[in-house]
Amino acid sequence: MSPESEADTPGETELPGALSAALRAELVAFRRDLHMHPELGNQEFRTTAAIKERLERAGLKPRVLPVGTGLVCDIGTGTDSGQWAGGPRMLALRADIDALPIPDTKSECPYRSRVPDRAHACGHDVHTTVVLGTGLVLAALHEQGLLPRPVRLVFQPAEEVLPGGAADAIEGGALDGVRRILAVHCDPRVDAGRIGLRVGPITSACDRLEISLDGPGGHTARPHLTTDLVTAAARVVTDVPPLVARRVDSRSGLALTWGRIESGHAPNVIPQHAELAGTVRCLDLDAWRQAPDLVVGAIDEIANLYRAKSEITYVRGVPPVVNEVTSTELLQAAMAARCGTDSVESTEQSLGGEDFSWYLEHVPGAMARLGVRPPGERTVRDLHQGDFDVDEHAITVGVEMFTAAALIDAV
């Protein structure tokens, strides 16, 4: 989408850090380059190198995370190493840099993915460009003596890989010296030029579940001599989700949804093996903590009824992102300062998962939904679809909101 579609909206407060036309164009080009060269989680070597080179050209000292992809970069610390040296605790801005293993299906787009079966279909290229652009603006403000406190940029790998690359970033020191962290996530339901906010949970917990069922098979003429695994698998699929839902408070929104079931090869043979896989999502943090025991117990109960031996792999994913009050208010104030109070809308809690939640286990923070839908467009290009794209005015909005947050952030 063309940056020419953007229209500046006056904010309520005059703050430095508005983007020049030249930087806007550069950031759009940077995002399009990332979009053409998507890389999967923990493979983001080209992406990491591109971010690092641009930050170094701005006189900054980024450091690549120990896992080999992703990086952090401090602005305004007054150190030669680019790392926190015990000064004022920082505001951190986080971006995720990985792509998805799906094909880019945009038919007529000059910057569509050039990598088969890889696409930035979740907007991480936008998140990355927003934080990069913010870093470039804040570096210039720091040189002018206009940055009141140090800021850390966190470019995190592998958000799409459960349990998420946030844990590696944290282990690599991304939160050392940080007192608050902010992030954005593209939202194709919100118009470009606006953001969605809420205090409290804004995403859901998400775990992965894999099940193997085994038992003696046989002829379909004699099911009484077998473990009827097809029926057992079918009952697990249909009975376990409502059984689990009845064992927690219904307000927790605990939902088990299946994505794969495989068993058998012939119509007259009862198989000896069946496999199922799905996800467990939950709106409530306490219920999420109970979920593994509840889900595993329910699966065993149903499998035992059909004399099937069950082997269950429950992979912990991410807890809900829970927006802290002060951090949410900071994002709201920053957006109002740039684009006016009517540019902020309330948003609902999503059933999607986001590993930004792991940062919030350590420091307060908040995530905003960054509007990327062209104003007036009725079609929603949903996340994780091959035709996903954005109105690139959202890049300017995200950068100017983050720079405003850095400037008005209170101790």
Window from 117-121, 168-172, 407-411 with minimum mean pLDDT: 407-411
Query: pLDDT tens across 264-303, in order?
Result: 999 999 999 999 999 999 998 889 999 999 999 999 999 9
Q: In what order do the strands lie in the sheet with 273-282?
A: 255-263, 273-282, 205-214, 309-318
Is 122 one of the annotated binding-site residues? yes
Query: pLDDT tens across 236-256, in order?
Result: 999 999 999 999 999 899 999
Query: pLDDT tens across 337-378, in order?
Result: 999 999 999 999 998 999 999 999 999 999 999 999 999 888
**Model-level pTM greater than 0.95?**
no
pLDDT of residue 13: 59
Cα separation, 30 vs 399, whole angstroms: 14
Cα separation, 206 vs 306, whole angstroms: 29
- Torsion, Cα of 170, 176, 180, 184 (10° steps): -40
Is 160 one of the annotated binding-site residues? yes
Q: Are 141 and 402 in contact (CB under 8 A)?
A: no
pLDDT of residue 379: 80
Cα separation, 150 vs 90, whole angstroms: 5
Is 6 one of the annotated binding-site residues? no
Domains in the chain, CATH or no CATH each:
21-202+320-409 (3.40.630.10), 205-315 (3.30.70.360)
What are φ and ψ of residue 193, in 5° steps?
100, -5
Cα separation, 223 vs 229, whole angstroms: 10
Window from 7-16, 100-109, 141-150, 293-302 with minimum mean pLDDT: 7-16
* Cβ-proximal residues to 129 (8 Å cutoff; 6+ apart), any chain: 27, 30, 31, 34, 395
Instruction: Return the SS3 of 310.
Output: strand
pLDDT of residue 330: 97
Mean pLDDT (the chain) is: 93
Would you say residue 186 has pLDDT above 60?
yes
What are φ and ψ of residue 40, in 5° steps?
-75, 170
Q: Which of 91, 89, 73 is nearest to 155 (CA)?
A: 73
Q: What b/e string do you get for 294-327 counting C-beta neighbours within 10 Å, with b at 16 or more?
A: bbbebbbebbeebebebebebeebbbbbbbbeeb
